Structure 1
Amino acid sequence: MRTVDREHYAALLRLAYLVLDDGDAPLTRARRAAAQAARVRHGGYEARRSRLVAILLTDPPAGRPRTHRLFFEPARTSPGPVRAALLELSPHERLAYLLRRDGLTAPEVAAELGAHLRFRTGFRDVDRATAAVDDRTGLDEAAQRAEIEAFEPDLVRLRPPPAVPPAWRAAVAAVLAAALLAAGLALTRPGDVPGEPAAIDPRAWQATRTPTIGEWPAQGGLRHDAGLLRRAADAWRADLRHPPLGRVVVLYAGRVDDASLVVLRDSSGPRDAPSVAQYFERRLSRGVESVRRLGTGEGQVIMLGMTWRYLVPPWLRDVRAAMPSERSPDWRPVAVQDGLSDPLPWHWFTPRCQNYVAFRMTYRPDAGGRPRTVTQLVSHNPGSAAPQVSFSDPPEQKERFRWAALHAVACEAAASLSESGDLRLGHLWSGELPDGGGRAMLLTVDASSPRGAPGTSILISDGGRALSERGRTNSDTTSSTATMAAALWWRSPRRWHLVAAAGPNVTRLKATGELGSHEKAADRPGGATLLVVPGPREGATPPEKARLPVVQVVAYESDGDRTLVNPQ
């Protein structure tokens, strides 16, 4: 290996190890990732580093037995200030910081990460990660780089096992065998007895007013193939990373695009949403190809592998689909037979819309429940979330707002869809922005999971184009917009503005902090309240370097309650 290649490998190994530092077998994983990145033949260190970023962000850790910890104990060096600070960050935040210290600017880091992450990463996220290490270490940039460059992961060695007298070796072997047997027994979950998965009574969903995945019957032409179902259930039970919880139930079994496919769910209990696994048997391969935990236990459309087809429960009918990238909705019918939809055109899934399309269906339970329209955003990736969407509409032009909101969420990164729960999209305010900013709507976004996550807001145009980065709301659950308040920063051609708005049950808004005290009462009872406070002027400082003032917005409700909102 040439000297320059050795230097590149050492730098790549250092970067990979610092990202994986607190994971399982970090040195082994770092060596594997660095070796793969070092094989890039064209381009220098930058091209290899770009390949390493892709490996670290997209390649999941391979499942491996952890019995090596019974025999070896890693002898890890004491972390310096920078490594100690990195341990407090998530892996993608560590990577953002390390790329920043490796010479990239914040926008370059955001672009490098954004090509591989499922959620939006902006320059402010990079700056926050860098500032967190600065604050924890108290070191300047040069001192931080010196510690990083002095760290050599290959000096981290495994200690040899202690010497064991020959007389004890048989006893140690017996103890280890018993421990491994006990571990194997512990991994066998109650209800996971090898055999065929259970099947739901095909009439069960018709006997309830609100059917969920618990009443989803088995569908497909191979649902009576006992051998296929047994192989699929056994393969999922043997999965080391995502084994099923409780009883395994079949949702679908049939032939799809020259493969035998079985879709299974587990029974995780009332506190957790179930997981869904997809098992494929093809000519040269077989096995579980994806496992996804559902955001809720309600029945929803499920993507099947990379077939561009979807599994649909029997209580969702009149299925239509549309591309969120279009300026207006063009809902096209999607045929469904025995629970399986026709394939959608692959070109509908555009990267700038997070590879999602919009589904609209009619929810028609047979036990007297009221029919209603269901909207859902679905990916081509079976491992990604498929959130259902509900709306809190403006009094006028509801359909126009709904399509603009769907476009903003899917194509303008108003929400990160791949891991979100069900969404509630609300209209808080619409009108003219100052400084010739034009007409805008303030969209609020609440997700059902992760539980307790704060709500977000964003300014969008009438067509759904994002006019600001995401801001905050005073809601951490899906709720009515009547008491909702939101605050965010918006930049006109001349200056920054703090924009705050609130629903009809908020009587006044007050902004305090470095911009002074500003207050706005509701223009009329039952109407939305808008407060706009001029901020710093735009000058020679690029937007990514601008420091925005520290501000809090207080929302006073009609019943005397008040809440705080901090713009991001």
Structure 2
Amino acid sequence: MVNREHYAGLMRLAYLALDDGDDPFMRARRAAAEAARGRRGGYPAMRTRLVAILLTDPPAGKHRLHRFFFEPKRTPPGPVRAALLELSPHERLAYLLHRDGLTAPEVAAELGTHLQADFRYVDRATAAVDSRTGLGEAAQRAEIEAFEPDLVRLRPPLAWRTALAAVLAAALLAVAGVVLTRPDDVPGEPAAIDPRAWQTTGTPTIDEWPAQGGLRHNARLLRRAADAWRADRRDPPLGRVIVLYAGTVDGASLVVLRDSPGPREAPSVAQYFERRLSRGVESVRKLGTDAGQLIMLGMTWRYLAPPWLRDLRAAVPSGRSPDWMPVAVRDGLSDPLPWHWFTPRCQNYVVFQMTFRPAVGGLPRTVTQFASHNPQSAAPQVWFQDPPEQEERFRWAALHAVACEAAASLSESGDLRLGRLWRGELPDGGGRATLLTVDESSPEGARGRSILISDAGRALSERGGTNSGTTNSPAQTMAAAVWWRSSRRWHLVAAAGPRVARLKTVGELGSHEKKAALLVVPGPRVGGAPPETARLPVVHVVAYEMDGDRTVVSPS
């Protein structure tokens, strides 16, 4: 028996957590009924069971038979429900549990069995709804408690009779072996962004990326693509599904879609192909950020570009200098690049440069991005910490080091920030070198890496560490350390930015301290053991900042 006393509250919680604009009535009803069915423990225990069901049970098949006879009571969403539509399902659930009387740590404990969430995650979700609604906690709870998702009414008699006739006809045709329901007839067409939205902001992102392509008005194709992605068990979309591109590419119908997971998570992009003998979603990739960026299309060697990125050009990073080739873009789709450009030597990546031309305010600026031939790999944008007047030669050397000398793993990378912390002569006649720093935008707070490179971008050392993940200014690396091997011995090379007062070593190399921007400490001599098996001393570098703080950097 279902506990009717608490069923309404459980149903409300389930519906609002699952609500993606496509009427999750039946799934919420089943989850609430299962959580409330004849068990002891009261409402808290039922709510715990409901959370487990929502987080662990896969979406069931689409049951629409009830729609022939009943229809939900249509009420426009209030500010709280409208704000929840912009969050991911997990964030909605965290917010709703918080508003249901649990503290943030209690919500984190409730969710922690099934996903990684702490009290900060709960606070962020709650703050997102607060900022969108402008309502106090009491007003938000009042709207939630007034929402009754299980109110339905009988459809009008004529519609009911028509629906019944449709059901009977479907049954007869099914017996006869005829397939009545096609993907074309299933509701769920993806949404489209106003094509003028990106022109109203100086910082457009993927949220303002309009639909492009010659098939963007083909409702049946878009519906098939959206339903295929929703049915994907491995990487289904979160929130609303929105079309970015629909057109014919190399004889195939292609639809590119994105989801809407909320402001705290980056969206995913899915690519749906219809070819002569096959159809389906062929790739799903989570973007590193929500910034508008190039999107690789299948194995077509083509890319999608948002309308605010112009003057597209590409170059192979293995070259000694950039040999830029203009790439034409028509209706958001680029011409194909030569397939032989993508070589394993440079992680199968090429370098793109584009001009960002904001429609509202601001001056045009150059955007640099890596992209591969694999639509499931990351496509990080690149930023440089150096001032704009810094020479182009260093920038190309840094790009070469990242792609071709393993200074970063591009296929798993977020957006990159590259910096030059030091440049000068190495000891023992090692020649000129640059200490390059590589910081990634994700995961948040990740420590950056550093590497010594030549003026041509060749790696002169293994990767070392920086303190960028622990500094007060994550956008600017302040200290880095690497091990460098000359012809005679190993050296610890540490450098610091202008905000560091002094550097000091601690560990097996003893104590060495210097106030200058560079600290080089001789290490063990090169012996008979191969460099890859030689044991290096355990050593750390302490960076003392101008304001009295200090952080520790490891060279390995």
TM range (shorter): 0.5 to 0.7
Is 1:330 aligned to residue 318 of structure 2?
A: no
Name structure 1 gaps, 5 residues minimum. 1-178, 523-528
Residues 303 and 426 of structure 1: CA distance in aligned 2, closer, same or farther (over 3 Å): same
CA contact (8 A) 1:394 1:427 kept: no
Cα deviation digits, residues 197-254 of structure 1 (max 9, x gap): 1111111111111111011000000001111111100100000000000110000000
Relative to structure 2, which stretch is displaced further, 361-370 or 386-395?
Answer: 386-395
- Cα RMSD for the two superposed structures: 2.3
- Per-residue CA shift, 1:292-315, capped at 9, x if unaligned? 000001100000000000000000
User: How far apart, CA to CA, are the structure 2 residues paired with 1:432 and 1:341?
Assistant: 44
Distance (whole Å) between structure 2 residues aligned to residue 450 and residue 239 of structure 1: 26
- 1:520 is matched with 514
Question: Paired residue for 1:449?
Answer: 442
Task: Please tell me the residue identity of whatever aligns with 1:242.
Answer: D
Among residues 347, 350, 359, which one is paired with 1:366 in the alignment? 359
2:256 is matched with which residue?
A: 263
Q: Distance between the aligned counterparts of 2:509 and 2:364, measured in 1?
A: 50
* Corresponding position of 2:494: 500
Which position in structure 2 is the counterpart of 1:543?
531
Question: Which one-letter code corresponds to 1:297 in the other structure?
Answer: D
Match of 1:558 among 540, 543, 546: 546
The residue type paired with residue 562 of structure 1 is R
CA distance in 1, matches of 2:325, 2:509: 50
1:388/1:306 Cα in 2 relative to 1: closer, same or farther (>3 Å)? same
Distance 1:440 1:342 in 2: 38
Greater gyration radius: 2
Q: Give CA-to-partner distance per residue, 1:134-183, whole Å, 9 cap, x none.
A: xxxxxxxxxxxxxxxxxxxxxxxxxxxxxxxxxxxxxxxxxxxxx99x94
Secondary structure of 2:411's counterpart equals coil
Contact 2:385-2:476 within 8 A present in 1 as well: no
Change (3 A) 1:333 1:400: same
3-state SS in 1 of match to 2:362: coil
Supply the AA of the counterpart residue of 2:208: E
Is the contact made by 2:468 and 2:477 (CA closer than 8 Å) also made in structure 1? no
1:426 maps to which residue? 419
Deviation for aligned residue 1:369: 3.3
Contact in 2 for aligned 1:508/1:557 (Cα 8 Å): yes
Could you say what secondary structure the match of 1:427 adopts? strand
Conservation of the 8 A alpha-carbon contact between 2:470 and 2:551: no
Alignment of 1:221-240 (within 5 A): 221-240=214-233
Question: Does structure 1 residue 471 correspond to structure 2 residue 464?
Answer: yes
Pick aligned residue for 1:212 from 205, 212, 226: 205
Counterpart of 1:408, as a letter, is A
State the aligned residue count. Answer: 383
Q: Tell me: CA distance 1:290–1:481, structure 2 relative to 1, closer, same or farther (3 Å).
A: closer
CA contact (8 A) 1:455 1:477 kept: no
Specify whether residues 183 and 498 from structure 1 end up closer, same or farther in structure 2 by C-alpha distance, changes over 3 A only.
closer
Aligned AA (1:489): W
CA separation of 1:248 and 1:534: change in aligned 2, threshold 3 A:
same
- Select which of 254, 259, 262 maps to 2:247: 254
3-state SS, counterpart of residue 345 of structure 2? helix
Between 1:393-402 and 1:446-455, the stretch displaced more is 393-402
Q: Partners in 2 of 1:404 and 1:477 — Cα distance?
A: 27
Q: Does 1:406 align with 2:399?
A: yes
Distance 1:379 1:482, change over 3 A: closer
Give the Cα–Cα distance (whole angstroms) in 1 for the partners of residues 486 and 409 of structure 2. 25
What do the CA deviations read for 1:17-71 (whole angstroms, capped 9, x no partner)? xxxxxxxxxxxxxxxxxxxxxxxxxxxxxxxxxxxxxxxxxxxxxxxxxxxxxxx
**Matched residues in 2 for 1:481 and 1:248: separation?**
33
8 Å CA contact retained: 1:483, 1:506? no
- How far does residue 374 in structure 1 lie from its aligned partner after superposition? 0.5
In the other structure, the counterpart of 2:265 is: 272
Moved more, 395-404 or 547-556: 395-404
Cα-to-partner distance string for 1:261-306 (whole Å, 9 max, x where unaligned): 0000001001100000000001111100000000001100000000
Aligned to 2:410: 417
Letter in 1 for 2:267: P
Q: Tell me the SS of whatever aligns to 1:402.
A: helix
Q: Which of 270, 282, 285 does residue 289 from structure 1 map onto?
A: 282
**Displacement of 1:436 after TM fit?**
1.3
User: How far 1:398 moved relative to its partner?
Assistant: 2.1
Cα distance in 1, alignment partners of residues 58 and 532 from structure 2? 53
Structure 1 CA distance for aligned equivalents of residues 475 and 386 of structure 2: 9
Percent identity of equivalent pairs: 80
Contact 1:322 1:330 in 2 (8 A): yes
Gaps of 5+ in 2: 1-52, 64-83, 90-185
Residue 370 (structure 1) shift: 2.8
1:389 aligns with 2:377: no
Q: Pairwise mapping of residues 21-32 of structure 1 onto structure 2 (< 5 A)?
A: none
Cα deviation code 1:478-514 (max 9, x no counterpart): 9578661001111111111100000122121111111
**Amino acid in structure 1 at the alignment position of 2:514:** K
Relative to 1, partners in 2 of residues 1:223 and 1:482: Cα closer, same or farther, differing over 3 Å?
closer
Q: 1:290, 1:501 → 2: CA distance?
A: 42
Contact conserved, 1:425 with 1:444, CA < 8 A, in 2?
yes
* Maintained 8 Å contact 2:313/2:352: yes
Q: CA deviation at 1:347?
A: 1.0
Deviation at 1:371, TM superposition (A): 1.7
Q: 1:341-396 deviations in whole A, cap 9, x for unaligned?
A: 00001111111100000010111121223321110001110000000000022797
1:161-172 equivalence runs, <5 A: none
Distance in 1 between residues matched to 2:274 and 2:283, nearest whole Å: 13
In the TM superposition, what are the counterparts of 1:433-444 in structure 2 within 5 Å? Answer: 433-444=426-437
Name the counterpart of 2:481.
487
Q: Does the C-alpha gap of structure 1 residues 188 and 546 become closer, same or farther in structure 2, counting only changes over 3 Å? A: farther
Partners of 1:308 and 1:346 within 8 A in 2: yes
Contact kept? 1:392, 1:480, Cα under 8 Å: no
